[in-house]
Copies of this chain bind each other. A is one copy, B any other.
Amino acid sequence: MSQFYDAIVIGGGVNGGSVAYQLAKRGKKVLVLEKDRIASKASGAAAGMIAAQAELQDDDPLFQLARKSRKRFASLAEELKDLSGVDIELINKGMYKVALTDQEVHEYKQIIDIQKRAGEHAEWVTGDEVRKQEANVSDDILGAMYIEHDGHVSAPQLSQAFIKSAAVLGVTIQEFVEVQSILFEGEQVVGVATNEGEYKAENIIVTAGAWSSSFLRQTELDLPVYPVKGECFSVRTHQPLLKSTIFSHGCYLVPKKGGRIIVGATVKPHTYNQQVSVEGVAGLLEKAKHLLPSIGEAEWDQTWAGIRPQTADGLPYLGEHPTYNGLFVATGHFRNGILLSPITGEIMADLIERKEPAIDVHPFRLDRLTATNV
């Protein structure tokens, strides 16, 4: 027996939740299918940085996407809290991208110029100025790019907030359901077959992170998305050691509510293994102690890992299938999945409604790396 929906979202992570939420706001009847639990993969593991400027360096399409998405968080936080009661723990206390070598000093100053030209705030601060604001950081910090508008949220809470708000708006959430294949009539999507039966819809959105490309194999579209493991740990103190996020080469320190700091993240491509390695912990620990010596006195909290989806050219995929109507994909956000989730939901809802998105999504189309004529 089948049930009919306007849209079926495959994957209950932060982007699946955002898509479902935006569609529900527009009155659509939506089903979210998640093979495990909501936000059980990368979305539940992310440190939650909204690092549009710290992570991205060139004034390119991804940077534009990130800037636009970052702007959404303040109002989104209120909306989602009202609907679901979930606080996404938005903290907007700026970010220091710190330089430990002369080369990084040089490089970051150039990035500041690029970003200023692009209309964003960014400024160079000396090591002493950093330490004036953040008394506990290392004397080895030579200076930093200070980014006033980068911040962070709780990734698990944001993911839950999207899903729970979507549910309040009528979206059906099914956990532990695996999609086995997408169903077509000719070149039109008509539903999905799952291990618990079939569901009908004329729009399917694949938001399954590093697992996304497997759903497209039957369509002969080989989407070059691959997994990149990231390991993290966290610590706790009563008196906060940091106010702003400290971002450096190979290690970031994100000061969460109540004196918790998340230290992340390793970058281990081509594995789906979610175990935290001893070597991963040891490497992060060494870097964290270098950046913030007093972290040694903090309480050890926990470790975890997530599997992030990366693409061959580093850009996400946001678009409709080149051949099949109604088959949409949003994946490949790599380390920017949390940051990009608000705009991803909007773009995908626009595409499904056949509206022009607020941003040019041509650079993110699905056939950009495989098609011969574009």
Q: A interface vs B, CB < 8 Å?
A: 84-87, 89, 91, 160-161, 163-164, 167-168, 173, 175-178, 180, 195-196, 211, 214, 227, 235, 238-240, 256-259, 270-282, 285-286, 288-289, 295-300, 303
Give A98 Cβ to nearest chain B Cβ, in Å: 20
Complex contact A175–B300 (CB within 8 A)? no
Complex alpha-carbon distance, A258 and B173, angstroms: 13
Contact of A274 among B163, B176, B214, B298 (CB under 8 A): B176
Q: A173-B238, A257-B85 are in contact. Are A296 and B272 (CB under 8 A)?
A: no
Complex contact B273–A176 (CB within 8 A)? yes
Q: Which of A195, A239, A278, A280 has the most CB of B within 10 A?
A: A278
Give A224 Cβ to nearest chain B Cβ, in Å: 14
Q: A275-B299, A282-B296 are in contact. List 8 more A-B contacts (CB 8 A).
A: A84-B259, A85-B258, A87-B87, A160-B258, A176-B274, A195-B211, A195-B272, A281-B300
Q: A89-B87, A177-B272, A178-B272 are in contact. Are A277 and B296 (CB under 8 A)?
A: yes
Number of identical monomers bound together in the oligomeric complex: 4
Complex contact A214–B195 (CB within 8 A)? yes
Task: Supply 12 A–B pairs (Cβ within 8 Å), ascending by A.
Answer: A84-B257, A84-B259, A86-B257, A164-B258, A168-B239, A168-B240, A176-B273, A177-B272, A275-B300, A277-B298, A277-B300, A278-B300
Complex interface: chain B residues within 8 A of A227 (CB)? 195
Complex contact A256–B85 (CB within 8 A)? yes
Complex interface: chain B residues within 8 A of A286 (CB)? 282
Complex alpha-carbon distance, A247 and B312, angstroms: 48
Complex interface: chain B residues within 8 A of A285 (CB)? 278, 281-282, 285
Complex contact B297–A278 (CB within 8 A)? yes
Complex alpha-carbon distance, A268 and B161, angstroms: 30
Complex contact B298–A278 (CB within 8 A)? yes
Complex interface: chain B residues within 8 A of A164 (CB)? 238, 257-259
